[in-house]
C-alpha cells in the first residue's frame, strides 16, 4: 500500500470500514450505471431523444440522468441503496449510523430537487434501479407526451 495522506488507514473516521469496502465503493459509478444504460437504450429504441447527465436548471447543482429539455422532463434513476428504496434498501452492517445519515441526506436532497424543478415548471420522473426498464420507459414516454401536450395547450391559449 502506498503512503498517501488520504489512505484509509491514516484517516481516523473513514466511511469505509475496510480497504475492501473502500475499493468497492470507489468502483461505484456516478453515471452510466447498468440501469441507466438499459433505460437509455430502450428509450432511444422507442424514438425518445434526450440529453444525458445535464443540470436541468442553471442554479441547481443537481444532474438528471435523462433530460427532455423542450418538454421540461427530468429523469433520475435512483439506486436502491443510495436513495433508500423502501423495498430493497439494506441497512449497512458496519458504520450503520454513517450510512443511515448519508441515505437520509440523499432522500432530503431528492425532495429538494423535485420541489425546485416542479416549481420551475418541470416534470420529475424518479425510477428505481430495480424497476423493469420497459415499464420505466413507458412512464418516461407518458410524462414526455403529457408535458408536450400541456405545453402546446399553453402556447395555443
Average pLDDT over residues 60-87: 91
H and E: helices and strands count for the chain: 5, 4
Binned at pLDDT 50, 70 and 90, residue 149 comes out as very high
pLDDT in tens, 109-119: 999 999 999 99
Contact present, 129 and 35 (Cβ < 8 Å)? yes
Binned at pLDDT 50, 70 and 90, residue 11 comes out as very low
Is 31-156 assigned to CATH 3.40.960.10? Answer: yes
Binned at pLDDT 50, 70 and 90, residue 75 comes out as very high
Binned at pLDDT 50, 70 and 90, residue 91 comes out as confident
End-to-end CA distance of the chain: 67
**Treating both helix axes as pointing N-terminal to C-terminal, what angle do 34-45 and 133-156 enclose, rounded to 10 degrees?**
60
The strand pairing partners of 64, in sequence order, are: 54
* Least confident window among 4-13, 29-38, 56-65: 4-13
The domain spans of the chain are: 1-30, 31-156
Q: Is the pLDDT of residue 9 over 50?
A: no
Amino acid at each position: 500500500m502506498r503512503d498517501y495522506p488520504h489512505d484509509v488507514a491514516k484517516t481516523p473516521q473513514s466511511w469505509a470500514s475496510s480497504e475492501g469496502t473502500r475499493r468497492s465503493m470507489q468502483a461505484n459509478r456516478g453515471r452510466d450505471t447498468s440501469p441507466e444504460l438499459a433505460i437509455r437504450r430502450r428509450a432511444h429504441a422507442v424514438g425518445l431523444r434526450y440529453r444525458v447527465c445535464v443540470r436541468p436548471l442553471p442554479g441547481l447543482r443537481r444532474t438528471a440522468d435523462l433530460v427532455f429539455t423542450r418538454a421540461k422532463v427530468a429523469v433520475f434513476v435512483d439506486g436502491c441503496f443510495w436513495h433508500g428504496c423502501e423495498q430493497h434498501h439494506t441497512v449497512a452492517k458496519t458504520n450503520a449510523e454513517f450510512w443511515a445519515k448519508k441515505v437520509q441526506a440523499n432522500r432530503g436532497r431528492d425532495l429538494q430537487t423535485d420541489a425546485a424543478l416542479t416549481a420551475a415548471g418541470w416534470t420529475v420522473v424518479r425510477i428505481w434501479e430495480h424497476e423493469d426498464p420497459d415499464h420505466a420507459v413507458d412512464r418516461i414516454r407518458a410524462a414526455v407526451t403529457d408535458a408536450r401536450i400541456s405545453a402546446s395547450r399553453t402556447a395555443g391559449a
